[in-house]
């Protein structure tokens, strides 16, 4: 029997699928374990070998934990909103929803091929309305919350409003607050909301009419097209992540992230302590507020620098400098933040003509602007101390600004010295103090003088949360002039409207702005909006305002609350009716669902025909409900509404009857004069102009909370029921790349903290442990093609490629100017010339480097035949110049893996060729999970050989059996005998190593351990069932298919997925002796065998009687004898 991996893998994948082997329950007596991968963006290029690296690692861990007796949650989903799909839509006109769906199908098929143990019933897709409904809902929670500085947590904004109403705050009294207009109040509240709107700068490209990402801007122009890009202020949404800065820092102490990862987050948050202080400018009406972490250097301030965007720039610039400043501002506008910070060689800046005054010694200080000061950090203004700060120093030198030395000999005039250890000089009251001690003294003085205060500052800025794009979550926000109004939760999901065109909207708005029907929206007067509007004393106005209400506000409120309490989520029957009537399905009559009328919320209503359709759920049997229903019916009838009631059973059993009834009644009503149209909800453009928010949420919105949705993926009442999140709790192991170190990980940590504060979940950190997988880079291959310049008459023709390819080493010679090689190629080229019947001469030959598909290359050797056939036989008739050993070699370079570089390797092909088990183990064998490395397929044979060798422990190798008769029988090799101690030792050594390595995610060494183990078992000719079964269990997380197959071949019951992990028994591993390496002066010279329990004295005696050592000791004196028990011996002479 042969190792037929294709058959085996297909069989078990099907079987696992059919038996729901990977389905996980939220209820189990076992302890829980949550293993999560960072979900992929389903790109059009499909899965490449880089994706599975982390997935395989987490899959192995999940399977391992399952064997160890845990109830393991291991889900997968798709981060399916994003720019590439939109870009693709722009180019091809295909709707992102369509391409995304297609890509996801491809991804899933590819993932399944590798045999992952995902519970697909829990799949999430961020672009699915049933998912982003909850992203929007959480956004509303953020919008409706503020950060309470006293409790250091998020609280409902209603609490703050209540406080303002009754107590006011330090800026206004309660009476003042209450007198503010709605818009004024909202503007104030906006300063506290966790999701808030404000103006911010974006990269604006006029020519493309769109906003660009930083990496789409290169040297001040757009990457595509090279059009100029400038900064533009736009209304943007933000998340107030800075409010959580301290808690995000503290939280790092409670999680198991790698130290560098924590360091990166700390640096990103960039907490610093210092002081903010004012420098009066000119005659003293204006003051520049600077932030500094080094107030001790205040007497070394030689100039101030403002960010070019600083609001004071215009006001302080003197007339004589106006022109230069304007010029400089134009220049800066074209520069990205990154460029501004990175180019250190190029020092730019401009003097404003203004002078500020040093508040301590009255010294006038010139005020400059320069691009190296960023508006977004601190106050956007710095005090420059050239003797202590390198950038200030370079600036001072460049513009010949005199430098004050306050640190004496610590400053050498050549470089700045940022020390805190120097003793201050030229520093008035700080003279003689150590700088680090002077910091506090200076701050105290600043506060005492009232010119500033102690201040904690963060480098981190509030997170920009809007994108001028189409393919993202729409904001559940409408604008009434400058006031943002949140939609009601009942209006969610606010679905992304279908787009025909994806181009940018006017004024840099997103594509949604082009959909005027959608943008100028009809306010379904939601209860939420009603709540926002205070009722007036004048009841007649109420009538107008509320449209359908003729009772008092209080009465409306009461009935509304009751209705709200009784409102249920869509039942099956309701859904059936909704599908029946929606979209003007019945004779073009528009129905609305749960549209409030006079405080009541009927199930379905057609306002144009004044027809209400109700379903009687079980709760209608309730006595109180019956009374309520009656009252409601009477009331609504008074308004001229007609009501049809169906029972649940009617709807579920006879939908045709329901349809017929509704259709008939509608027809009757159409003829009936009395059923004049009910007032429709107000439209925009009238008295109240409402406009939807047209930007969408960024990619990280959906990914900030997806780990919660997996716990309770189909819940329609809430994003994740508390019971589920309490059970699964934190993600125990989160696997993903370092490229998300600061973005995604910080955002999801913040969201988790907010949800915790608001009481939705019971834990504050989403990820208990983080494992970083390295990046698999592409290893691109290049070939050299010959090119010539011909002489046409006396002129040199332009360079043309000819169909001759040159192997790498030969090409290197040519490039190094090897005359022989060049001559050889010239001859070759002449032959071609002759063949082409050209009478011209060759002026010059050269080599042209071009990409080849890495899949045609084994190591560096090109498969000529595949290459010839590539791209429609493009190189079919090409000639090849080989190496001396008749191989054709390619040049290699490491780059990012990408389709356009022809360096992607598709896992499907490898799975087809070698099987998923081989592929899984090979990816792990490649190196440590967390290490980045270029992909290389060439070692995969070795792993495949290992699995075949494993197979031969179970079945005889038929190729070794000469006669067909013998092949037919006796293939199985295993025996049911008691293993020897030596065999147990092999097993338990393996158990120990595999368990350790699996726990530590050291999978490359685990694979090596399996190889060693199988080699040893083969050498020992051990075919004992007991040993083999245990090895299979150990192996099953790594190579599940072959393990399951052989597990059953051995006759074991049940799936190996649920087998019991073998227990390590140390007794088999005990050694009687240990071979100690003996070094002399740290260099290994010999080895001696000692009993494991040997003491230092015994060791010394043994060493001193060792021949080799004695030879080394000859004539020398033993200075020291070092004995590390169980490790080594070192003799110092």
Partner RNA sequence: GCCCCGGUGGUGAAAUUGGUAGACACGCAGGACUUAAAAUCCUGUUUACAGCAAUGUAAGUAACGGUUCAACUCCGUUCCGGGGCACCA
- Of residues 872 through 901, those in contact with RNA by CB under 7 A are 894, 896
Q: List the interface residues with RNA, window 107-136 (CB under 7 A).
A: none
Helix (H) or strand (E) holding 305: strand 303-306
Helix ranges, 38-95 (H): 52-67, 83-92
Tokens read off for 258: 């790698």
Smallest gap, in angstroms, from Cβ of residue 471 to RNA? 8
- Shorter beta-carbon distance to RNA: residue 821 or 943: 943
In this structure, are residues 1092 and 1008 in contact, taking their beta carbons and an 8 Å threshold? no
Q: Is 291 left (phi over 0), alpha (psi -120 to 50) or beta?
A: beta
Q: List the interface residues with RNA, window 830-869 (CB under 7 A).
A: 859
User: Contacting RNA (CB under 7 A), which of 108, 913, 933, 989?
Assistant: 933
3-state secondary structure of 185: helix
Smallest gap, in angstroms, from Cβ of residue 415 to RNA? 11
Stretch that binds RNA, among 163-171, 300-308, 396-404, 464-472 (CB under 7 A): 464-472
Helix (H) or strand (E) holding 805: strand 800-806
Give dist(CA 363, CA 349) in Å, integer. 22
Q: List the interface residues with RNA, window 16-55 (CB under 7 A).
A: 40-41
User: Contacting RNA (CB under 7 A), which of 337, 667, 869, 908?
Assistant: 337
In this structure, are residues 323 and 369 in contact, taking their beta carbons and an 8 Å threshold? no
Smallest gap, in angstroms, from Cβ of residue 731 to RNA? 18
Q: List the interface residues with RNA, window 978-1037 (CB under 7 A).
A: 1002, 1004-1005, 1007-1008, 1011-1012, 1015, 1019
User: Contacting RNA (CB under 7 A), which of 68, 454, 461, 828?
Assistant: 461
Give dist(CA 39, CA 140) in Å, integer. 24
Tokens read off for 599: 């405080």
Per CB under 7 A, 926 contacts RNA:
yes
Per CB under 7 A, 573 contacts RNA:
no
| Nearest alpha-carbon partner for 803 in 878, 881, 889, 882 | 878
Per CB under 7 A, 971 contacts RNA:
no
Sign of the torsion angle spanned by Cα atoms 1103, 1108, 1114, 1118? negative
Smallest gap, in angstroms, from Cβ of residue 939 to RNA? 4
- Shorter beta-carbon distance to RNA: residue 161 or 1132: 1132
Stretch that binds RNA, among 304-312, 327-335, 926-934, 1028-1036 (CB under 7 A): 926-934
Per CB under 7 A, 644 contacts RNA:
no
Give dist(CA 456, CA 449) in Å, integer. 19
- Shorter beta-carbon distance to RNA: residue 297 or 466: 466
For the chain, give percent helix, strand, coil, nearest 5: 40, 20, 35
User: Contacting RNA (CB under 7 A), which of 79, 128, 712, 757?
Assistant: 79
**Phi, psi (deg, nearest 5) at residue 460:** -60, 140
Per CB under 7 A, 246 contacts RNA:
no
Q: List the interface residues with RNA, window 951-970 (CB under 7 A).
A: 957, 959-960
Give dist(CA 383, CA 393) in Å, integer. 12
Give dist(CA 1075, CA 1084) in Å, integer. 13
- Shorter beta-carbon distance to RNA: residue 32 or 933: 933
CA 119 to the chain's CA centroid: 21
Per CB under 7 A, 1067 contacts RNA:
no
Smallest gap, in angstroms, from Cβ of residue 759 to RNA? 27
Smallest gap, in angstroms, from Cβ of residue 948 to RNA? 5
Angle at 353 between CA 341 and CA 393, to 5 degrees: 40
Per CB under 7 A, 927 contacts RNA:
yes
- Shorter beta-carbon distance to RNA: residue 654 or 1075: 1075
- Shorter beta-carbon distance to RNA: residue 410 or 948: 948
User: Contacting RNA (CB under 7 A), which of 230, 928, 973, 1118?
Assistant: 928
Q: List the interface residues with RNA, window 724-743 (CB under 7 A).
A: 738-743
Per CB under 7 A, 235 contacts RNA:
no
Smallest gap, in angstroms, from Cβ of residue 1083 to RNA? 7
Smallest gap, in angstroms, from Cβ of residue 535 to RNA? 39
**To which residue do tokens 């757009």 refer?**
222
Q: How far apart are the first and last CA of the chain?
A: 62
Smallest gap, in angstroms, from Cβ of residue 199 to RNA? 11
Bridge-based pairing of strands 604-606 and 195-205 is: unpaired
- Shorter beta-carbon distance to RNA: residue 729 or 1005: 1005
Smallest gap, in angstroms, from Cβ of residue 537 to RNA? 44
- Shorter beta-carbon distance to RNA: residue 550 or 1005: 1005
Q: List the interface residues with RNA, window 1072-1131 (CB under 7 A).
A: 1075, 1077, 1079, 1081-1085, 1087, 1120, 1122, 1124, 1127-1128, 1130
Per CB under 7 A, 380 contacts RNA:
no
Tokens read off for 863: 């498969």
Bridge-based pairing of strands 350-357 and 271-281 is: antiparallel
User: Contacting RNA (CB under 7 A), which of 939, 968, 970, 1091?
Assistant: 939
Instruction: Kindly give the interhelix angle for 655-671 and 572-581, rounded to the nearest 10 degrees.
Output: 50
**Phi, psi (deg, nearest 5) at residue 430:** -95, -5
CA 255 vs CA 35, 754, 928: distances in Å? 15, 18, 22
The count of residues interacting with RNA (CB under 7 A) is 98
In this structure, are residues 749 and 251 in contact, taking their beta carbons and an 8 Å threshold? yes
3-state secondary structure of 15: helix
Per CB under 7 A, 469 contacts RNA:
yes
Smallest gap, in angstroms, from Cβ of residue 483 to RNA? 21
User: Contacting RNA (CB under 7 A), which of 31, 69, 226, 260?
Assistant: 260
Stretch that binds RNA, among 262-270, 552-560, 977-985, 1033-1041 (CB under 7 A): 262-270
User: Contacting RNA (CB under 7 A), which of 13, 62, 203, 483?
Assistant: 203
- Shorter beta-carbon distance to RNA: residue 156 or 927: 927
* 493: preceding bond cis by omega (within 30 degrees): yes
Stretch that binds RNA, among 80-88, 304-312, 449-457, 523-531 (CB under 7 A): 80-88
- Shorter beta-carbon distance to RNA: residue 193 or 993: 993
What secondary structure letter does DSSP report for 1078? E
Per CB under 7 A, 270 contacts RNA:
yes
Q: List the interface residues with RNA, window 760-789 (CB under 7 A).
A: 775, 777
Smallest gap, in angstroms, from Cβ of residue 853 to RNA? 20
**To which residue do tokens 């893996």 refer?**
897
User: Contacting RNA (CB under 7 A), which of 120, 172, 180, 268?
Assistant: 268
**Cβ atoms within 10 Å, residue 1041:** 24
What secondary structure letter does DSSP report for 13? H
Sign of the torsion angle spanned by Cα atoms 125, 131, 133, 138? negative
Smallest gap, in angstroms, from Cβ of residue 1118 to RNA? 12
Per CB under 7 A, 948 contacts RNA:
yes
Per CB under 7 A, 263 contacts RNA:
yes
Give dist(CA 364, CA 382) in Å, integer. 15
Smallest gap, in angstroms, from Cβ of residue 1085 to RNA? 6
User: Contacting RNA (CB under 7 A), which of 196, 925, 954, 1038?
Assistant: 925
- Shorter beta-carbon distance to RNA: residue 681 or 928: 928
Give dist(CA 1087, CA 1074) in Å, integer. 10
Bridge-based pairing of strands 195-205 and 210-212 is: antiparallel
Q: List the interface residues with RNA, window 660-699 (CB under 7 A).
A: 695, 698-699
- Beta-carbon contacts of 272 under 8 Å, excluding residues fewer than 6 positions away, are 293, 456, 457, 458, 459
């Amino acid at each position: 029997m042969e190792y037929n991996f294709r058959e085996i893998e297909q069989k078990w994948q099907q079987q696992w699928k059919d038996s729901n082997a990977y389905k996980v329950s939220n209820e189990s007596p076992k302890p829980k374990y949550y293993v999560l991968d960072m979900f992929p963006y389903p790109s059009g290029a499909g899965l490449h070998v880089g994706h599975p690296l982390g997935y395989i690692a987490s899959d192995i861990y999940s399977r391992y934990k399952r064997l160890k007796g845990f109830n393991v949650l291991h889900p997968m989903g798709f981060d399916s909103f994003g720019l590439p799909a939109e870009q693709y839509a722009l180019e091809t006109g295909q709707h992102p929803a369509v391409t995304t769906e297609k890509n996801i199908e491809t991804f899933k098929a590819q993932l399944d091929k590798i045999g992952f143990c995902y519970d697909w019933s829990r799949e999430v897709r961020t672009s699915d309305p049933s998912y982003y409904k909850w992203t929007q809902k959480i956004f509303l929670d953020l919008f409706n919350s503020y950060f309470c500085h006293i409790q250091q947590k998020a609280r409902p904004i209603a609490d703050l409003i209540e406080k303002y109403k009754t107590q006011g705050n330090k800026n206004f009294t309660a009476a003042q607050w209450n007198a503010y207009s709605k818009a004024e109040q909202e503007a104030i509240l906006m300063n506290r909301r966790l999701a808030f709107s404000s103006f911010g700068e974006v990269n604006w490209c006029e020519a493309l009419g769109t906003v660009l990402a930083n990496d789409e801007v290169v040297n001040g122009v757009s990457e595509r097209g090279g059009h100029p890009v400038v900064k533009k202020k736009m209304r943007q949404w933000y998340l107030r992540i800075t409010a959580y800065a301290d808690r995000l820092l503290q939280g790092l102490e409670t999680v198991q992230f790698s130290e560098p990862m924590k360091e990166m987050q700390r640096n990103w948050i960039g907490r610093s302590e210092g002081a903010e202080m004012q420098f009066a400018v000119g005659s003293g009406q204006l003051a520049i507020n600077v932030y500094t972490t080094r107030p001790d250097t205040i007497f070394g301030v030689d100039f101030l620098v403002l960010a070019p965007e600083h609001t004071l720039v215009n006001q302080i610039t003197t007339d004589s400098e106006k022109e230069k400043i304007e010029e400089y501002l134009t220049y800066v506008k074209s520069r990205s933040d990154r460029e501004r910070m990175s180019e250190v060689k190029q020092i730019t800046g401009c003097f404003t003509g203004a002078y500020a005054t040093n508040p301590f010694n009255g010294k006038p200080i010139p005020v400059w602007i320069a691009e190296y000061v960023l508006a977004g950090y601190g106050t956007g203004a710095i005090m420059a101390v050239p003797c202590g700060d390198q950038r200030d120093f370079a600036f001072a030198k460049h513009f010949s600004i005199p430098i004050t030395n306050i640190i004496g000999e610590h400053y050498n005039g050549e470089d700045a010295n940022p020390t805190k250890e120097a003793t201050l000089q030229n520093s008035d009251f700080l003279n003689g103090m150590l700088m680090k001690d002077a910091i506090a003294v200076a701050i105290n003085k600043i506060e005492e003088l009232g010119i500033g205060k102690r201040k904690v500052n963060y480098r981190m800025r509030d997170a920009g949360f809007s994108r001028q794009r189409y393919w993202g979550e729409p904001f559940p926000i409408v604008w009434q002039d400058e006031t943002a109004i949140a939609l009601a939760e009942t209006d969610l999901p606010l679905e992304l409207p279908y787009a025909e065109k994806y181009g940018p909207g006017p004024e840099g708005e997103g594509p949604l702005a082009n959909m005027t029907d959608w943008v100028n929206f009809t306010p379904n007067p939601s209860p939420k909006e009603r709540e926002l509007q205070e009722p007036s004393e004048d009841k007649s106005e109420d009538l107008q305002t509320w449209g359908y209400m003729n009772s008092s506000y209080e009465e409306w409120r009461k009935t509304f609350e009751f209705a709200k309490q009784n409102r249920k989520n869509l039942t099956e029957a309701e859904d059936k009716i909704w599908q029946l009537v929606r979209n003007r399905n019945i004779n073009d009559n528009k129905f609305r669902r749960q549209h409030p009328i006079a405080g009541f919320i009927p199930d379905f209503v057609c306002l144009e025909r004044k027809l209400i359709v109700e379903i009687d759920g079980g709760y209608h049997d309730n006595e109180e409900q019956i009374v309520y229903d009656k009252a409601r019916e009477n009331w609504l009838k008074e308004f001229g509404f007609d009501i049809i009631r169906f029972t649940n059973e009617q709807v579920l059993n006879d939908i045709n009857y329901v349809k017929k009834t509704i259709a008939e009644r509608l027809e009757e009503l159409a003829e009936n004069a009395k059923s004049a149209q009910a007032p429709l909800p107000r439209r925009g453009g009238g008295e109240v102009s409402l406009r939807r928010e047209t930007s969408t949420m960024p990619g990280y919105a959906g990914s900030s909370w997806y780990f919660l949705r997996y716990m309770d993926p189909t819940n329609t009442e809430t994003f994740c029921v508390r019971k589920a999140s309490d059970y699964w709790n934190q993600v125990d192991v989160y696997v993903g790349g370092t490229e998300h170190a600061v973005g995604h990980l910080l955002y999801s940590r913040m969201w988790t903290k907010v949800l915790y504060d608001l009481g939705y979940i019971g834990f504050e950190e989403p990820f208990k442990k983080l494992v970083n997988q390295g990046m698999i880079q592409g290893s691109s291959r290049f070939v050299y093609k010959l090119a010539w310049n011909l002489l046409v008459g006396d002129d040199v023709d332009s360079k043309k490629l000819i169909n001759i390819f040159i192997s790498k080493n030969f090409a290197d010679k040519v490039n190094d100017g090897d005359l022989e090689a060049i001559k050889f190629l010239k001859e070759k080229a002449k032959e071609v010339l002759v063949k082409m019947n050209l009478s011209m001469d060759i002026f010059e030959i050269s080599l042209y480097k071009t990409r080849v598909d890495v899949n045609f290359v084994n190591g560096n050797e090109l498969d000529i035949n595949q290459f010839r056939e590539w791209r429609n036989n493009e190189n079919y008739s090409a000639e090849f110049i080989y190496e001396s050993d008749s191989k054709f070699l390619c040049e290699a370079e490491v780059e990012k893996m990408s389709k356009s570089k022809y360096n992607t390797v598709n896992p499907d092909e490898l799975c087809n060729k070698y099987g998923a088990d081989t592929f899984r183990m090979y990816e792990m064998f490649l190196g440590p999970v967390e290490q980045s490395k270029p992909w290389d397929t060439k070692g995969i044979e070795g792993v495949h050989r290992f699995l075949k060798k494993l197979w031969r422990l179970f079945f005889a190798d038929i190729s070794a059996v000469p006669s067909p008769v013998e092949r037919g029988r006796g293939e199985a090799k295993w025996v049911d005998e008691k293993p020897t101690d030596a065999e147990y030792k092999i097993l338990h050594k393996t158990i120990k190593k595999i368990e350790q390595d699996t726990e530590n995610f050291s999978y490359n060494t685990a694979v090596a351990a399996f190889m060693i183990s199988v080699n040893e078992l083969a050498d020992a000719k051990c075919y004992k069932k007991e040993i083999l079964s245990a090895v299979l269990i150990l192996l099953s997380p790594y190579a599940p298919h072959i393990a399951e197959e052989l597990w059953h071949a051995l006759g074991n019951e049940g799936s190996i997925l649920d087998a019991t992990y073998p227990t390590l028994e140390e007794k088999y591993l005990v050694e009687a002796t240990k071979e100690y390496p003996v070094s002399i002066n740290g260099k290994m010279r010999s080895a001696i065998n000692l009993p494991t329990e040997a003491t230092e004295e015994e060791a010394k005696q043994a060493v001193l009687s060792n021949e080799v050592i004695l030879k080394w000791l000859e004539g020398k004196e033993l200075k020291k004898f070092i004995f590390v028990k169980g490790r080594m011996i070192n003799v110092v002479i």
